[in-house]
Structure 1
Amino acid sequence: MSAIRTSGPLASPVARFAARRAGRMVVVLAGLVVATFAIVRLIPGDPGRRILGLRADADAVAQLNAQLGLNGSLPHQFGSYLSDLANGDLGRSFQTSEAVTTVIGERLGSTLQLLVLAMAIVLLVGIPAGLVAGVALRGRHGWGETAWSATTGVLGVLPHYVMATFLAFVFAVTLRWLPVAGSGPWDAAILPAVAIALAPAAHVARLVRVETAGALEQEYMTAARSKRLSRLRLYGAHVAPNVLTAALTLSGVILAALVSGAVVVEQVFARPGIGSALVQALLVQDYPVVQGITLLIGTIVVVANALVDLALGLADPRVLEAGA
């Protein structure tokens, strides 16, 4: 058995780790395809009847459902669905007859702009805040600890729509510093990005604070202090690398939270993203659009989590050996 594990294309721990994660990702994506196909067809209602109206002739409704490929058996519909997916065809909107890929393509840029800015806010606010709190509040249980716990606790549980409404009222309506709606320039993405980033940033800050406090108690920190290193080298070279690994483990969860938050916040700020398109499609039972956007969002989250696992394996040999 040892000869098998030390030769061939999967000889290295990195290759075995990557192969395992890729296999799991494929299985999850396959389950996502099946679930997306099944869930959409479990939504009550007749698409043909909804498109043509309640007074439409039954024959016309049946003919339209046949054109939409909804009259065949479920195995036949699923086979057609897989064939279309293989060709990059997500179908056409029931409402506009526009290709779903076109609907997504027109709106994806706005959502990606929002997610990139929100992720930057989470990392640039959450990690430094957690490091500073871990150092400043180490071993203390006074008003600073109470204020930290209360602030991060409240920010971590506030619903996205509440935060979005508050930010829009203060910074857009009252102060008029930023646009209240729409997309385009980066300043239009600031308020919605902050609205979905504050809760994940609070969770990251709390985690980093705990990891920082734990790292400061380790023996290697005592040795580093004995060398009379500057604060920047002490915390930057010896504490930060350890807490960054812990923060990285949350990246996949953070991305999923940002994507789900974007669905709500895009409605509040009237941004033409894939989140608002998903909500509109759900309201009119536009199955192909719902199916295509759900599949895209799920794929993004699954692939991102796989990449995070791989990055963790490369950054920490212990994770690599355990997963290989």
Structure 2
Amino acid sequence: MRAVRIEEFGGPEVLVEAEVPDPVAGPGEVLVRVAAAGVNRADALLRAGVYHRVGRPPLIPGAEAAGVVAAVGEGVSDFAVGQRVVALDGVKSPGFYAELAAVPVTQVVALPDGVELTEAATLPIAWLSAWYCVRHLAKVTKEDTVVVKAAASGVGTAAVQIAAETGARVIALAGSAQKAAWAGEFGAHTTLDTSAYPDEAEVEEVLRLTDGRGADVVLDIVGGAAFARSLRQVGHGGRVVALANVALAPSTIDTRDFYPKNVAILGFQLTNRQRHGWDARADLRELAERVAAGAYRVPVETVLPLARARAAHEQLERRGNRGKIVLAVD
């Protein structure tokens, strides 16, 4: 089969198309013929050799995909050949930058009608992370005011919609006027261009927008210095959820910014959550059903052929995209 591999750690240029042996569905596995694979920052970190799951090259990246069942292994009775599915590679390699992937049955969910495969390929990472953090960790309700940072990102646009559906008031923060306006199209009640409010001014503006009380929930997708600001933006008894560090920088915090307010700091990392017992299938299934019902809009900005994985990573790292980047596999 055709696949794109990381031959050595480095920049996008190390992604090389190659012919590799076809995987075989072992016991308890589903062989998925990949139609579309989502491109994520975790893929870029894996390629650079700095991701927490790093193995040794050659490696096939790609943690999420959608396609059809090509074969099932021994003991698998829930899926049939030709069935449309979405799959998450949270535990096992190879990844989904390939024509075929053998995936544990616990990582595969049947797709309902009404969800396109290119959309479905973006659900298991950004969308599932946003869903879990809003629904399970922060337990957002209609009584809450929720701040979503990096609201124009894949996780951000998902979190804005999922939080808004609960009836919560959503304040979307993004790094430019254009991105902030775009985040507003997904149901945010208020948007904030953080480039106009650097550093402490961002904290003061969030406090102003919440009448000095601070937010009930802050979803911090940025990390670095932004996380310290999140602790100052949340109100008494609030929750700060840290689910990424795209800043790739340490966070220096003052404990006095959160313990007097009885603030809960909650962390989330998708693959480690799965390794410690979370079966994501029920949540992924419900999320796909909500998309099929038209409750959420899944923005896909760019679809590139598998052979152009390098270009996809270059576009991702420019951080100019609005919506997800997807690799299409013939």
Q: What TM-score results when the alignment is normalised by the length of structure 2?
A: 0.25
Structure of larger gyration radius = 1
Q: Give the helix-richer structure, 1 or 2.
A: 1
**Greater relative contact order (CA < 8 Å, ≥ 6 in sequence):** 1
Q: TM-score, normalised by structure 1?
A: 0.25
